[in-house]
Structures are given as C-alpha cells and as structure tokens.
Amino acid sequence: MDSKSNPTFYVDKIPVYGDVILSPMTGYSDVPYRAICREYGSAMHYTEFVPVEALGGKPDPDNKFWKRLDQQPEESPMVFQIFGNDPKLIVEVAQKIEALEPDIIDINMGCSTRRVSGRGAGVGMMKSPELIGETFRLLNQYLSVPVTGKIRLGWDENKNYVEVGRMLEESGAKLVAMHGRTKEQKYNGFADWDAIAELKQAVSIPVIGNGDVVEPEDIDRMIEYTGVDAVMIGRGAIGNPWIFSRRSRGDLTFGELIQTIRIHLREMINYHGPFGLIQFRKHFKKYVQNVGPIEQLMAEFMQADSADAFKDALDRCEAQVDINQTIGRLEIELEQFEDCETVL
C-alpha cells in the first residue's frame, strides 16, 4: 500500500501513502529514527511530543523541546505533536509552531504517565470531554493546517472513547488515532481491538489503530479486524524498523542487521553529535535483543566511549558470525545454549 499514485487515505486534503505509521515516542521518534522507519515504509512522520509550556518565546534550535520540532525536507506528511491542559495556551503555541510549516498539528490525549496525565494533560484531557471540544473548536478556528488527536480508551473502566471521538470530529479534528488501552492499564493487558473497531464505526474521519502490533502479520490483522485506515506502531517498532515493510525481524540476515545498526549509529552521531552515541544505546539494546553473538559483548558496547570503539566491537561481531545467518536462527541457537546451561 505504498503506491505514490493512490493515497491510502487523506487527512483533510493531505494524502497519506501507506497504512503503517511510526508512533510518536519520547526519546525514540527523533529525526534519525524517523528517517530509518521512513526508508522501510512509515507513511506519516510524528515528532516526539512537546509540552506547550516549553515553547514560550521564539524558536530556539538549542532548546531540546524546540529541537523536537525539527523536520527534514523529505518528511511528508509531517506532524507536530504537542500536549497541554489549557485550550488558550494550546492554541497560542499551535499558531506559533504553524509558522514552521508542519503539514498537521496533533494534540496528544493519550500519554498515561503521571507527570503528564496527573495535571490534566495527555489522557488526563479525556476526563473533560468539554475541554477537548473547546480546544479543538479554537484550533480549527485559528489554524489553517489540519488538526488531529491521539487518545486512549479513557481514564479507567469508564471508557469514553466514542464520546471523545465524536466530540473531536464535531469540533473539527481531521483524524483520530487511538491506543486500545485505558490510562489505568498503561501498557498492561491486551489492547482492545473491538473498541478500535467501534470507534471506526462511530466517526467518519480517518481512524488509526494502535496497540499490540508486534509482528508484520499483526498489521493486516488489525486492519481487517477493525477497519482502520492505518496502523500505528510504537514499542513494536523499536529496534525493528523492518516491520514497516512487513518483514519479520527473524528473516533478516545478520549482515542486514549490522548494516542497519551502522546506518542508525552514523545518523545519530551526525544529528546529535557525540551525545548521539549515548542516545543510541537504548535503540541498540532492542536491535540485538536475543542475538547471542552481540549480547555476549553487551557490556563492551554499553561502555564504548566513542563511535570508533563501538564500531570496532561491531567489526569483531561481524567477523565471528556468518553474515548470511538469519536472526531467527541465531535466536534459536541462543535458546538452545541457555537450555544446555540450565541442564548443566
């Protein structure tokens, strides 16, 4: 579904070419990782979310929050995601960042962390549907770009996602994305795909489903089961950008894995400077999870104090393993080795 001649769906008048999207994630969905995922098929480009209170004053490229709104020319559609609990301040900041020319501005109403939701922002907004309606009516009135929202099922077992979804549409939202869990669930239990399907039937704007998509086959399974216009992948995409091309990580060769790691590391250093190596570590842990030849040297990788030292360790791993060996096979060999240790 990546044909450039046939959009999969539209956000207002903005075409989206594809049905799988990298979720906005703090500390992960920065410029380098968005580029990696775009290469494999991610169809929209969400920034890490930014608190509106942090965007006072003029844009400052040295400010970490303003830097989250950085974008590259090839990123389209580009979505700036912000959050807050004051409709007027949200609108004021949205007008300011609209000058940076995003294609879409998204309001996060799904973050479940106490620091965000506890003050009425993120999923905390879902406790006040009238506040959501006011916010989106003002945004629709004062912005020229489409405005969208990302929500959860609700705060707790009193789920109000249908009410909020309809409120969003009536107030001018052009798309709603929903994670199929409540605030209280956080990431525990299972995502409720039936609820996602219900929301899709309740509104006429595009709906993106999110939750429990960890394998390529889950993408089409969610689309078929819920009828959503697209699928958003968060945790299942960390260290696994190949999922956007519907390719299983287990089918990759060791050489392909190492090549992607090298590219990602290079882009992190180029974009973030020396601190990029430290930021890359959390990605690296997910890339090599259960890949025995690398996991055995994990301490060395984590202690590497330069990109060159990190690359040297990668070179040694690559020299010791058949680069045509699949990741799936290497994971099986690790399991068998651990089984032997248990027996011994």
**What type of residue sits at position 41?**
G
pLDDT value at 340 more than 60: no
Q: Give me the chain's average pLDDT, please.
A: 93
* Model pLDDT for residues 71-115, shown as the tens digit of each residue: 999 999 999 999 999 999 999 999 999 999 999 999 999 999 999
Tokens of 13: 């008048």
Q: What percent of the chain has pLDDT over 70?
A: 95
Distance, CA of 260 to CA of 287 (rounded, Å): 9
Distance, CA of 234 to CA of 214 (rounded, Å): 9
- pLDDT for res 235: 96
What does each C-alpha distance from 56 to 53, 65, 90, 94, 97 come to in angstroms?
A: 6, 10, 11, 11, 11
**The dihedral formed by the CA atoms of 235, 241, 247 and 251, expressed in degrees to the nearest 10:** -90
Three-class DSSP category at 256: helix
Three-class DSSP category at 123: helix
What does each C-alpha distance from 22 to 35, 53, 188, 328, 342 come to in angstroms?
A: 11, 25, 20, 24, 38
Assess contact for 164 and 137: CB atoms under 8 A. no
Distance, CA of 155 to CA of 157 (rounded, Å): 7
Peptide bond into 77 cis (omega under 30): yes
* Model pLDDT for residues 174-205, shown as the tens digit of each residue: 999 999 999 999 899 999 999 999 999 999 99
- pLDDT for res 295: 80
Q: What percent of the chain has pLDDT over 90?
A: 87
Lowest mean pLDDT among 59-68, 83-92, 127-136, 220-229: 59-68
How confident is residue 62, by pLDDT bands cut at 50, 70 and 90? Answer: confident
Distance, CA of 254 to CA of 257 (rounded, Å): 5
How confident is residue 294, by pLDDT bands cut at 50, 70 and 90? Answer: confident
Of the residues 37, 111, 317, 340, which is catalytic? 111
170: CB partners within 8 A, 6+ apart: 133
pLDDT value at 276 more than 90: yes
φ/ψ of 10, rounded to 5, equals: -125, 145
pLDDT value at 333 more than 90: no
- pLDDT for res 296: 79
Across 84-206, the runs of DSSP E, i.e. the strands, are: 104-109, 147-151, 176-179
Lowest mean pLDDT among 41-50, 108-117, 326-335: 326-335
Tell which residue, 157, 92, 158, 81, has the closest CA to residue 121: 81
How confident is residue 37, by pLDDT bands cut at 50, 70 and 90? Answer: very high
Domain boundaries, the chain: 9-245, 249-327
Catalytic: 111? yes
φ/ψ of 245, rounded to 5, equals: -100, 15
218: CB partners within 8 A, 6+ apart: 212, 231, 236
Quote the CATH superfamily of domain 9-245: Aldolase class I (3.20.20.70)
Judge if pTM exceeds 0.85: yes
φ/ψ of 272, rounded to 5, equals: -100, -10
pLDDT value at 254 more than 50: yes
- pLDDT for res 342: 36
Report how far Cα 183 is from the mean position of its chain's Cα atoms.
Answer: 18
Element (H, E) at 212: none
How confident is residue 332, by pLDDT bands cut at 50, 70 and 90? Answer: low
**What type of residue sits at position 217?**
E
pLDDT value at 2 more than 60: no
- pLDDT for res 344: 42
- pLDDT for res 292: 82
CA angle, corner 204, sides to 203 and 207, nearest 5? Answer: 75
pLDDT value at 336 more than 50: no
- pLDDT for res 339: 35
Three-class DSSP category at 22: strand
